[in-house]
Structure 1
Amino acid sequence: MTFPSNGRSRGDRAGREDTSRRSAYQDESRRAARERELSRRSRKSKGMPQEDGVTYRPQSSSNGGAHKRRVNMVTAIALVLAGVLIIRLGWVQVVWGPELSLNASEQRTRVYVDPARRGTIMDREGNQLAYTMQARSLTVSPNIMREELRTGTDLALRLAADETDPENVASYVTIEEGNEYVFASAEQRETILSDKVEERIQNIADRIPEIIKSHDQDVTGISSEEILDKLNADSQYEVLVRNVDPDVASEITDEMPSVAADHQDIRQYPNGAIGENIIGRISMDGEGQFGFEASNDSLLAGNNGRSTQDMSILGQAIPGTLRDQIPAIDGANVELTIDLDLQTYVQQALEQAKANSGAENASAVVLDAKTAEVLAMANTDTINPNEDTGKQIEQGKSFDNPSVTHPFEPGSVAKVITAAGVIQEGLSTPDEVLQVPGSIEMAGVSVRDAWEHGVVPYTTAGVFGKSSNVGTLMLAERLGEDKFAEYLERFGVGQSTGIELPSESQGLLPAREQWSGGTFANLPIGQGMSITTLQMAGIYQALANDGERIEPRIIKSVTDSDGTVLEQPEPDTVQVVSAEAARTTVDMFRSVTQVDPTGVQQGTAPDAAIEGYQISGKTGTAQKVDPNTGAYSNSQYWITFAGIAPADDPRFVVAIMLDEPERGVHGGGGQTAAPLFKDIATWLLNRDNIPLSAETEPIVLQAQ
């Protein structure tokens, strides 16, 4: 066997190794060449010196510089704009931010007021004198409404433009020119939008009266023209229609979201003019304007509720934004001491007496003798709030309450103060006989009786029964000025009674330090001072109540909205005279109504007598001051009467004033108010079934 030689094998391996080394060397040479070429190109592109010392300049150097400048410029502009935007954003956030935020909040925030219901006013038997009926006022914010209509109409038209209906598209996006549709300009689109908003506003103005009328509601005074004027007004709030039924208002607001139905209370006065001088009324804004409604407004009005909610630009409530809810607290219900039936009778009787007598006006007050509660307080020419008040005012009617606001000189009706003082001080007795002349001189002032007479032996009871000025001053002199002034104060002359009614007058009484001799010659006979009808009733109430004067009250009870009866302050009281002196004085003044066919023992007011009952009272005739001369007139008088029924068991006090009557209250002769007292007292005694009085011996007025 033959094997290859070892030499040949080594040669072959050496050849192969040499070939590998040559190949590696060539690859390395080629890499080095490529690297040198790349280096040369790089230096050339950068303008750097090459290995051979030659410097190559890039052929595109001018174009590259321009490009770089453009890039730099754009960058600078972008930075400036970014800076401006940042500054603007900061300005808006820091400087304008709070105001813009406030404006945005005001635009979307609505505050709703839930009015409290005004309390009911009732008489002592629960009869309604004034109550509240729910209604609605249709209101609008014209500026906001027009903006909302504009935004909503614009949105609706834009949405319509996306539909395929060509009529809707043509109405906003395009306009018709000839037989072709072309795109409208911005000005033309603005005109189209304005026309459609105006059309919608006109539709609202027309539809509101139409809907109200369709429900048989009175639309007197409601016109589309007036509503349209309000809708176009430059204001934030307008009342379109008042006193709309809630259901009708709801129908309108459902159809017209821009119109709001504000809660409104309609105050009802079911008895018309009866008691209106006491009750008064509220204004269109729901605030007390006259009478009890005004003086007790806070008690009756309650507290309104409130809530806040955000609204969308289309006037829709944004869910979940209702907040700050405060419930309304309704006003208190008040029960007055007034007796509606009695008030009606007295008021009608006064109106008839005024017509019969030709008096300028008249007033009357009826008090409960034991509590001083006002059972009736009436005046003539009281307005009916349910009728045209403007026309009534032109006719001389008013909301005033002269019984508490208009004082007058009482005349002889005030002589009871002198009588009570004399009896209390033990300076006389009812049956003491006084020799009364026809006139008397006091501090240089001569005072006469109303009739001519010589010296007459009048008893003290007779002095007042006959209404002798001279005899009264004789008794007043026994009291003296200081003591008489004290009794005036005790009886409340020159002081307000504190009645829960507005504008009460305290009357007029000269201060003690300002008295002259002539003052004391006038005051005991009821001149030189002024009192109201209510104060006059209060004087007699004190005597009817065993000498204790109680401040007259007109509120019987108050019940708040949750049914709690509120405790009322007790009226102030003054013990004017003793119970014995009061009863003696009341009994003595029965002489005024005493009847005697011969006239000798007859008082000045037999027309006030009521068969079967003892009646105590006093007439008054006070001269008015003539404004032209400043002296007392001989033709103009205030005629008064105040009395107690029945005298033996006092239940009622009635005070009456007639201003310048020409005849009697029944149209007959004389000018006395006594027959009107009889009418009122008889009605009361019969209605309440008051037992008849015991028979008594006649009172001696004139000694024989």
Structure 2
Amino acid sequence: MSNERRTTRGTEVPKSRRKVDSTKRARTSASKPGTSRSSASDASRAKKVRAASGRRTVASSGTKTAKISSRRRPKQSLGLLFGRDDKVESPKATVRNRSTAGLRRTRFHVMVSLGLVCMVGLVGRSFWVQVAHGAGYREDGVQQRQRFSAIPAARGTIFDRDGNEMAITVPATSIYANPQSIIDPAATAHVLAQLLGIDAVSEADLAAKLADQSTTFVYVQRFVDENVAEAVLSLNLAGIFGISEPERVEVAGGLARNVVGRTDPFGVGATGIELQYDKMLRGQDGEMVKEASNGRSLPGTTKIVNDPRPGTDLVLTIDRSMQYQVERILLARVEELTAKGGNAVVMDTATGEILAIVSVRRNAEGVAELTAGNMAAVEAHEPGSVAKVFSMAATLDSGVATTDRVYDVPGVYVFDEGQEYEKTIKDAYPHDLEPMTLRDIFVRSSNIGTLMAAGEVGSPRLHDYLEAFGFGKQSGLQFPGETAGMLKQPENWRGSENATITYGYGYSSSALQLVSAVNVIANDGVYVSPRLVRATIDEKGSLWEAPAGATHRVVSESTARTMQALMASVVCEGTGTRARIDGISVAGKTGTGYKIQENGTYENEDGTRAYFATFVGFLPANNPQISILVSIDEPDPSSRDRFGGTAAAPAFAKIATMAIHERSIEPSADDAGCPAVAE
């Protein structure tokens, strides 16, 4: 401890250090202006002093000076022995260096964290691309090098009940253009118009389409005759091409077009059965793929991915031969009566199968023609006196009266006399007060007698019977556009509607509904829904029977049998004698309804009326097999052939005679038809 001296301000500086400091002060003072000493000598002297001081410090490693020097001059520590400069830092330098080290560690941690985040992001993105959405990206890649196209499925064929084709699909050529390849649109359009029979207006439209450079495909004409298509394509007109497409063809000149319907130009069902069963008929398209390069398909790379599944074939209930003959008979009758139109329906009594259904309308040129629409299913009219079948059946079935009950029937009846809805009703023919049995009322078609008898049934109950007969709702055929007709609820019947509804005014029905309702009587009191599809044939050729039509009982079998006899009497001795057929019994009912005019009444301003004449019946009367309806719309109002028994019954007789031969219907041994009566 003798070698150390401590002061109050710290460790005493050694002499050698004091000499050095004095040398620095001397040099500093010598460098100032006005100093007289030589700068060169001073520098030499200072150099010697520093060298001597350095030697003494190294030599005195065990002295107090050496210890102090070792603390104050770290660069002269043990590091010199190993050739490195180990610095012993001051406290302030240590704090600063520690702060720098902490900052470096923070930077390292931040960089590592950022690296981990980036790595996680890359892994997540890789998972997103390759796993979660890999399929989509792979599909995009496939789409860039492959071209997929549909293989149209063959549309199912429609047959009649005997397997005769009604509608088939055949390949046809359509002419199309690529406007971007056409040099002279106007000249090209003119040449095409000459070959394809295009008029001047259509030619101008075609020229405009061919001049449109924004598209690469324009139809010129679809489903061109093969000879004409060959002539067009042989000209090698720039930008004009042909393509084979499936065309739907109506066999036998459009027979039963109103039932079969049609497809649009792209083969999709548009009307009729084609629309109703479109999904079943069209099948399922297939798919093929081609490799492509630079937008062009490569030859030899086509591969079928999915084979097309052909559509299901339909077997209709229509008899093609009967349909044709009914069409001819109805057309002739409408022309003969100069009527506006007409309907005819032939139904199998037991199954409800429609064997023929025809509609005729007179066009704007005054020519009667077959309609493309099924008017017998989509138009509704008041049934007129045919409705007496249902009123009389309700009267008998409810037990209100029997056929031999006598009513005193006046020629004129005032309904609700003296009340708000007072209405004068005249009978179907003029007569005085006359006693009539229920049978006479029906056979002679008395309006007043019918309302007197059916009025005892009551409006609510009569409504229920009419609804059970199928009025006020669709038939279950589900034909496109089929009408439900109109049948109001009984609480909405006002005044004389409670009376007129008994003989056919106050509700409406289609021809299909009306023949189905009369068929209830022919089918022993059971309603059977009409149907147009008999079976289907799948792609394997297996035939599957269609479900039978829904059925329900309307009246008892005994009531139906009584009504069958009454309707046979209408034909033999009543208003329907023109429907008789020699050698076989026929049952039926006439109906002559007034049509509502534009003024909302049944009479025009000049006092004339428009008629809707109907006859509905079945045969044989004692063992019904066929039910038939014929209606004539607006026959000549000045002619005697404007009634159901004169306008429609003769056509019924012709259709019934045809049906007997086509269906091989034979009367029973005790059925000789009506006895001979005078016309």
TM-score by length of 2: 0.69
From 498, 508, 516, the counterpart of 1:520: 498
Alignment of 1:82-481 (within 5 A): 109-139=146-176, 198=183, 219-221=196-198, 230=210, 233-243=213-223, 262-313=243-294, 315-317=296-298, 319-320=300-301, 322=302, 325-381=305-361, 398-443=371-416, 444-481=422-459
The corresponding residue for 2:586 is: 615
1:288-347 per-residue CA deviation (whole Å, 9 max, x = no partner) reads: 122211222112111222223233448442554x46722211111111101111111111
How far does the alpha carbon of each residue in 1:169-207 deviate from its partner, in whole angstroms, 9 at most, with x for none?
xxxxxxxxxxxxxxxxxxxxxxxxxxxx959x999x79x
SS in 2 for 1:501: coil
CA change 1:412–1:361 in 2 (3 A) is same
The answer as to whether partners of 2:148 and 2:290 remain within 8 angstroms in 1 is: yes
The structure 2 residue matched to 1:646, chosen from 595, 603, 620, is: 620
Q: Give the corresponding residue for 1:510.
A: 488
Query: Please, which of 598, 606, 609 is the counterpart of residue 577 of structure 2?
Result: 606
Q: Partner residue of 2:654? A: 679
- Distance change >3 Å, CA 554–CA 397, structure 1 → 2: closer
Task: State whether structure 2 residue 597 is matched by structure 1 residue 626.
Answer: yes
d(CA) in 1 for partners of 2:490 and 2:163? 46
Q: Please report how far the alpha carbon of residue 646 of structure 1 lies from its aligned counterpart in structure 2 after TM superposition.
A: 1.1
Cα 1:583–1:367 change in 2 (3 A) is same
Structure 1 residue 691 corresponds to structure 2 residue 669:
no
Query: Are 1:573 and 2:573 an aligned pair?
Result: no
Per-residue deviation at 1:529? 0.8
State the partner residue of 2:610: 636
- Cα distance, 1:256 vs. partner? 11
Per the alignment, residue 33 of structure 2 pairs with none
Deviation (angstroms), 1:441: 3.5
Is the contact between residue 141 and residue 237 of structure 1 (CA under 8 Å) also seen in structure 2? yes
Offset of residue 477 of structure 1 = 1.7
Q: Matches of 1:345 and 1:583 in 2, distance apart?
A: 31
- Encode CA deviations 1:560-605: one digit per residue, 9 max, x unaligned: 22223345333211101111211111111112112xxxxxxx3011
In the superposition, relative to structure 1, how do residues 489 and 241 fare at CA in structure 2: closer, same or farther (>3 Å)? closer
Aligned length: 526
CA contact (8 A) 1:541 1:653 kept: yes
1:539 aligns with 2:517: yes
Displacement of 1:221 in angstroms is 4.5
**SS of corresponding position for 2:616:** strand
Q: Distance in 2 between matches of 1:394 and 1:360?
A: 10
Deviation of 1:419 (Å): 1.3
Change (3 A) 1:297 1:661: same
- 1:488 matched to 2:466? The reply is yes
Matched, 1:499 2:499: no
Q: Residue 378 of structure 1 aligns to a residue in which SS?
A: strand
SS of the aligned residue for 2:588 comes to strand
> Helix, strand or coil for the counterpart of 1:457?
strand
User: Could you give the per-residue CA deviations for residues 259-299 of structure 1, whole angstroms, max 9, x where no partner exists?
Assistant: 87655111111222431111111111211122211222112
Given residue 364 of structure 1, which amino acid in structure 2 is its aligned partner? Answer: A
Please say if residues 353 and 666 of structure 1, whose CA atoms lie closer than 8 Å, have aligned partners that are also in contact: no
| Matched letter for residue 390 of structure 2 | I
Deviates more, 1:652-661 or 1:231-240: 231-240
- Give 1:236 deviation, angstroms: 4.2
Counterpart-to-counterpart distance in 2, 1:498 and 1:679:
29
Change (3 A) 1:284 1:666: farther
Tell whether the 8 Å contact from 1:308 to 1:323 is kept in structure 2 after alignment.
yes
Over the aligned positions, Cα root-mean-square deviation in angstroms equals: 4.0
Letter in 2 for 1:265: P
Q: Is the 8 A contact 1:258 1:315 kept in 2?
A: no
Question: What residue identity is the alignment partner of 1:610?
Answer: I
- Structure 2 stretches of 5 or more lacking a match? 1-128, 130-136, 417-421
Letter aligned with residue 616 of structure 2: A
Q: How far apart are the structure 2 equivalents of 1:550 and 1:241?
A: 47
Counterpart residue identity of residue 480, structure 1: G
Task: Give the C-alpha shift of residue 124 in structure 1.
Answer: 0.8
Counterpart CA distance in 2 for 1:665 and 1:325 is: 69
Partner SS state of residue 246, structure 2: strand
Letter in 2 for 1:266: E
Q: TM-score, normalised by structure 1?
A: 0.67
Cα shift readout 1:188-244 (whole Å, capped 9, x = no counterpart): xxxxxxxxx959x999x79x979xx9xxxx854599995996486421433355336
SS at match of 2:564: helix
Distance in 2, matches of 1:124 and 1:331, equals 19
CA positional deviation for 1:517 = 2.9
Select between 565-574 and 222-231 the one with higher mean Cα deviation: 222-231
C-alpha distance 620-441 of structure 1, shift in aligned 2 (>3 A): same
> Larger radius of gyration, structure 1 or 2?
2
**Which stretch shifts more, 630-639 or 485-494?**
630-639
Q: Secondary structure at the match of 2:252?
A: coil
Pick which of 255-264 and 402-411 moved more: 255-264
CA apart distance, 1:545 = 0.7
**Alignment partner of 1:311: what SS?**
strand
8 Å contact 2:331–2:370 — kept in the other structure?
A: no
| Uncovered stretches (5+) of structure 1, i.e. residues with no partner | 1-93, 95-99, 147-196, 384-390, 595-601, 700-704
Is 1:559 equivalent to 2:540 in the alignment?
no
Q: Deviations over 1:455-509 (max 9, x none)?
A: 2232212111100001111111221112101101110111100214210000011
Shift of 1:691: 2.1
Match of 1:11 in 2: none
Q: Is this contact kept in 2: 1:500–1:555, CA < 8 A?
A: no
Q: Please say if residues 123 and 340 of structure 1, whose CA atoms lie closer than 8 Å, have aligned partners that are also in contact.
A: yes
- Secondary structure at 2:647 match in 1: coil
Instruction: Indicate if the aligned counterparts of 1:439 and 1:448 stay in contact, CA closer than 8 A.
Output: yes
